[in-house]
């Protein structure tokens, strides 16, 4: 990933100097004269917060989530960008997992399902079996009688078998009622 250096630029009151500085450097933070001590402290706190966030990203070099909710997964020499809203479900596959997108495309990832579960859990995903994680946004129906859950998007419907334990676990979610 590419991380920009944080820049603090003290500018003059006029706009002559600002326009060139902003066009040339695109600073993350700046102070315009005259400025208050509290403004300086606020910028230093923001820089410190950004530094700490960058350190967390660097420590976990396999994945991170940006401020727009896009997931970055290490993929070859770069990163694969994944919009969680586009993912219908994730299924274990030989030597990794297969991610199924809303448009029906499948993406193979060389990650264990437990690793992906930790990343996607904050995006309304739920692990229904040892080998399947579903996006609850696409959950259409759960049948207690047949112990199946149905996912649906515009073009496709997916059916997964559940255990009694998983039916009860899903039913405990605050926004789902099992029929």
pLDDT of residue 167: 80
- Minimal CA–CA distance to 126: which of 118, 115, 116, 136? 136
Tell me which of 171 and 177 has the higher pLDDT: 171
Helix H or strand E encompassing 50: helix 37-59
CA separation for the pair 141, 151 (Å, rounded): 7
Share of the chain above pLDDT 70, in %: 69
What's the mean per-residue pLDDT of the chain? Answer: 77
* Structure confidence by residue, pLDDT tens digits, 126-146: 999 999 999 999 988 888 888
* pTM across the whole model: 0.63
pLDDT of residue 106: 93
* Rg (alpha carbons) of the chain, rounded to whole number: 23
Residue entry with tokens 């199924």: 100
pLDDT of residue 100: 94
Tell me which of 150 and 14 has the higher pLDDT: 150
Share of the chain above pLDDT 90, in %: 25
pLDDT of residue 37: 75
**Section 102-114 average pLDDT:** 91
């Amino acid at each position: 990933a590419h991380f920009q250096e944080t820049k603090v630029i003290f500018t003059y009151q006029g706009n002559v100097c600002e326009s060139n500085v902003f066009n040339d450097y695109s600073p993350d933070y700046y102070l315009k004269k005259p400025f208050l001590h509290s403004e300086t402290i606020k910028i230093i706190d923001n820089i410190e917060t950004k530094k700490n966030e960058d350190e967390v990203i660097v420590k976990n070099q396999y994945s991170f989530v940006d401020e727009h909710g896009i997931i970055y997964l290490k993929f070859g020499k770069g990163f694969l960008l994944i919009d969680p809203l586009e993912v219908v479900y994730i299924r274990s596959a030989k030597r990794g997992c297969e991610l199924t997108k809303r448009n029906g495309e499948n993406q193979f990832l060389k990650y264990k399902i437990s690793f992906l579960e930790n990343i996607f859990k904050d995006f309304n995903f739920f692990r229904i079996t040892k080998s399947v994680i579903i996006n609850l946004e696409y959950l259409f129906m759960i049948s207690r009688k047949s112990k199946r859950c149905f996912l649906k998007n515009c073009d496709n419907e997916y059916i997964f078998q559940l255990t009694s334990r998983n039916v009860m676990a899903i039913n405990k979610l605050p926004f789902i009622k099992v029929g």
